[in-house]
Structure 1
Amino acid sequence: MNMDPSTARYDFTIPARQPWSGVVKKGEILRIVDIDGQQAVDTLFYSAADTSERYSCQDTLAAQRAAYVSIGTVIRSNEGRPMLTVIDDTCGRHDTSAGACSCESNTVRFGHQTRYMHACRENFIVEVSKHGMTKRDIVPNINFFMNVPVEPDGGLAVVDGISQPGAYVDLKAEMDVLCVISNCPQVNNPCNGFLPTPVRVLIWPAAT
């Protein structure tokens, strides 16, 4: 398939710190590009036909028997059905265990002075409301380009990202999916290099 950006049916740059959502039809390919490198892209997927079916990190990790998302990962729903497949990846490691930052977690981790800093959970709340959902519909997400190694004691560490400028991940939709992104605004840990930057989303039509 021709993956030249000029052939994409959709091409949009998500500003730093902002949310975005869009529908990817079955057979289409979604590309997320880390323009400047080391930028976490918190992402949720819902069935476009029925948003009560949505991404399940538990089903995804249990099925693949691996801790990270990368080439070959089949992203599964809470019904155990394939939603998307990762078909290309120039980063090599994407977290789906650490979840999304929130005002509450910022306060616990970084002090009360961070309580009112905008966070991914709040971005998600704003964006899912456009599709008739509420904060109750927000589930554990994928953090594309976020480096979260598992430490020897089983804990998770958020460390400097490994994605280089222009790194991308390609996902082929196995059903019509609603993709919801928070371009992470976190400035208190190194997941964004302490400086949130824009990311790019492209969608190519299904091959005919």
Structure 2
Amino acid sequence: MTTSAILWQELIPAGHHWSGLIRRGVVLKLTDVEGGANVATLFYNPEDKLERYNMADTLKAQHTAFLSKGHVCYSDMGRIFCSIIDDSVGWHDTFCGLSTASQITARYGDMRFGQARNDMYQNGQDSLLIELAKYGLGLRDLVPNINFFSKVSPDTTGKLHYHAQHSVAGSSVALRFEMNTLVALSTAPHPLSDQAYYAPKPILLTAYVADPVAADDLCRQHCSQNTRGFVLTERYYAGAK
């Protein structure tokens, strides 16, 4: 990617939220500017918002418990929202969900907008609800999300462990969108973060035009289910102008 190929860039501050329409054929690159970021993310079909990211299908179709390069993110209609075409992190959490207001208050105290303005203490659930409300979506539309840049793994007893500073400064993940997709994200802390003080991290969004998907594309050929998912997605847009 050259500078001239960039469509747009936007810095999302620490503890903030963002949403927007990313069109089919565009890559959205997420960069952890300082290291230690968490980006809680959800995907919806803007043409039919009842179609949204499906965590269970995404994991079982690809026989994985986390996401990395070569994986795709499925909708609950068997189509592919986006493909992970590049990833310097190697592990993105898929099943720990969102931080909540009660968790943030219990861990860090209460710092509201009236006191701190844009430095108020945000949580993932409320952040995403603010973004979803812009599109007529609400609490019932929150589904299990992806936490980009975060790693959580189980020990031999099944207890989950959060890996602090899993992502270093400059780490990035590139998502090539196979569908027009409504993306909502939050940079609030991960629900299992054990940091002693409230210190979420900013991320940089960079959008650029993707190369055409080749027949031997890594994500398409990752498994037979992915190949079928690409076919279903291409049929959805067949004949579209």
Give 1:189 deviation, angstroms: 2.6
SS at match of 2:78: coil
| 1:5/1:138 CA distance change after superposition, 3 Å | farther
SS at match of 1:75: strand
- The amino acid across from 2:30 in the alignment is I
Work out the CA distance in 1 between the residues paired with 2:41 and 2:3. Answer: 21
Partner of 1:175: 179
Work out the CA distance in 2 between the residues paired with 1:45 and 1:161. Answer: 25
Work out the CA distance in 2 between the residues paired with 1:165 and 1:150. Answer: 25
CA contact (8 A) 2:96 2:191 kept: no
| 1:192/1:170 CA distance change after superposition, 3 Å | farther
Identify the match of residue 200 of structure 2 among 196, 199, 207. Answer: 196
Partner of 2:20: 22
SS at match of 1:20: strand
Is 1:10–2:8 an aligned residue pair? yes
Give 1:33 deviation, angstroms: 0.5
Q: Which runs of structure 1 show a deviation greater than 3 angstroms over 4 or more consecutive aligned residues?
A: 104-107, 110-117, 185-188, 190-194
Work out the CA distance in 2 between the residues paired with 1:96 and 1:166. Answer: 21
Work out the CA distance in 2 between the residues paired with 1:76 and 1:192. Answer: 35
* TM-score (structure 1 length as normaliser): 0.89
* TM-score (structure 2 length as normaliser): 0.77
CA contact (8 A) 1:31 1:203 kept: yes
Is 1:149–2:147 an aligned residue pair? no
Give 1:121 deviation, angstroms: 0.2
SS at match of 1:66: coil
Identify the match of residue 53 of structure 1 among 51, 54, 69. Answer: 51
Q: Which runs of 5 or more structure 2 residues have no equivalent in the other structure?
A: 113-120, 213-241
- The amino acid across from 1:83 in the alignment is F
- The amino acid across from 1:55 in the alignment is Y
Partner of 1:127: 131
Alignment of 1:65-144 (within 5 A): 65-106=63-104, 110=106, 113=109, 117-144=121-148
**Paired-residue identity, %:** 34
Work out the CA distance in 2 between the residues paired with 1:129 and 1:145. Answer: 25
CA contact (8 A) 2:92 2:147 kept: yes
- The amino acid across from 1:140 in the alignment is P
Work out the CA distance in 1 between the residues paired with 2:195 and 2:66. Answer: 16
- The amino acid across from 1:181 in the alignment is L
Identify the match of residue 159 of structure 1 among 148, 158, 163. Answer: 163
Cα-Cα RMSD: 2.4
| 1:192/1:97 CA distance change after superposition, 3 Å | farther
SS at match of 1:29: strand
Give 1:111 deviation, angstroms: 6.0
Work out the CA distance in 2 between the residues paired with 1:74 and 1:36. Answer: 26
Is the radius of gyration larger for structure 1 or structure 2? Answer: 2
- The size of the alignment, in residue pairs, is 204
